[in-house]
Amino acid sequence: MTATPAPAPRTAAPLPSPIKIALARAAVETKVLFRERDAVVFTFALPIVFLVLFASIFSGVAEGTGVTVAQLYTAGLIGSGVMGTGFQNLGIGIAGDREDGTLKRLAGLPMPRPAYFIGKIISVLVMTVLQVAILLAIAVLFYGLELPSEVSAWATFAWVFVLGVSAAAVLGIAVSSLPRSGKSAAAVISLPFVVLQFVSGVFIPITELPDWLVNAASIFPLKWMCQGFRSVFLGDAGAALELTGSYELGRVALVLAAWLIGGLVLCVTTFRWKGRRDG
């Protein structure tokens, strides 16, 4: 056996910057998201189908406030859309990546691991922005939704949206480690999401729910996200429809930020790069 001396390391050049790699991940993840045609159709079509359904079933105006059904459901469906792309799609997608070896392959690369998460979150942001734009366009064109004109309303929209998408995405990343396999992921992740939509004011106005359900829903971010979006699209007139008579924007920010931080901690501590059969 011949042991030749160790060759000098060949790569004198420094490794590419983590930011460059994260952006490359974002580009690839976004490309892949849009190429999965079924998922794209589902993501974009579902909120629109719900909007058409609800606007047809409950037409009219909430008494005394001038708030239209279109306004109410647009706000709720944006919240559920954010949760759908960030939490549900992302969670199921990552569970699939873990099952089929995508994650394992990436873990073997000289890639800073946060780059993977940043790529996922940016791709979710892009997807959700488009989803919301389409939903708003349809609500404006066909259901007479009037977009707010004040800058402050859009500023609120921006922070609720960014905070909401980030919180949903880190929770999606965290929840992806929960299902035992990629196959069970859809069931494990979709169930809590569907339940949350019913109790958080997406489908049914939160004022119609029993107290204990409202209390339970108030633990989770979706209720607060929808509340934030209502403040944007219903305006001051709609505040009377809230349980407390106010949109409580401070609490919205607080709860969403708490979920974002909690989700980040969960991601860092519980994320599995390997499937259960990978030893």
Partner 1 sequence: MILPGWILGGMKHAIRVRGLKKRYGEVQAVAGLDLDVAHGEVFAVLGPNGAGKSTTVEILEGYRERDEGEVTVLGRDPARPTREWRSRIGIVLQTADDRAELTVRETLRHFATCYANPRDPDELMEQVGLADSAGKRIRQLSGGQRRRVDVALGVIGRPELLFLDEPTTGFDPEARRQFWDLIAGLARDGTTIVLTTHYLEEAEALADRVAVVARGRVVAEGDPATLGGRGTAKARVAWSEGEIETDTPTAAVLELSRRYDGEIPGLTVTRPTLEDVYLRLIEAGEPLADGAPQTVGSAS
- What is the binding site for ligand ATP (CB under 6 A)? 277, 279
CB 226 within 8 Å of CB 76: yes
Q: Which parts of this chain interact with partner 1 (CB under 8 A)?
A: 1-7, 9-11, 13-16, 20-21, 24, 28, 31-32, 35-36, 97, 100-102, 104-105, 107-112, 274, 278-279
∠ CA 208-210-212, rounded to 5°: 145
Provide, rounded to whole angstroms, the least separation between the CB of residue 278 and ligand ATP: 6
**Residue (251 or 272) nearer to ligand ATP, CB:** 272
97, interface contact from partner 1, ligand ATP, none, CB < 5-8 Å by kind: partner 1
Provide, rounded to whole angstroms, the least separation between the CB of residue 94 and ligand ATP: 20
∠ CA 68-140-64, rounded to 5°: 15
**Residue (53 or 109) nearer to partner 1, CB:** 109
66, interface contact from partner 1, ligand ATP, none, CB < 5-8 Å by kind: none
Provide, rounded to whole angstroms, the least separation between the CB of residue 94 and partner 1: 13
User: Computed from CA positions of residues 104, 106, 108, 111, in that sequence, does the dihedral angle turn out positive or negative?
Assistant: negative
Measured between alpha carbons, how far apart are the two ends of the chain, in Å? 32
CB 34 within 8 Å of CB 130: no
CA–CA gap between residue 159 and residue 163 (Å, rounded): 6
Q: What 3-state class would DSSP assign to 61?
A: strand
269, interface contact from partner 1, ligand ATP, none, CB < 5-8 Å by kind: none
Q: How many other β-carbons are positioned within 10 Å of the β-carbon of residue 246?
A: 13
**Residue (27 or 204) nearer to partner 1, CB:** 27
**Residue (245 or 279) nearer to ligand ATP, CB:** 279
261, interface contact from ligand ATP, partner 1, none, CB < 5-8 Å by kind: none
Q: What 3-state class would DSSP assign to 168?
A: helix
**Residue (164 or 179) nearer to ligand ATP, CB:** 179
Tokens standing for 9? 């390391």
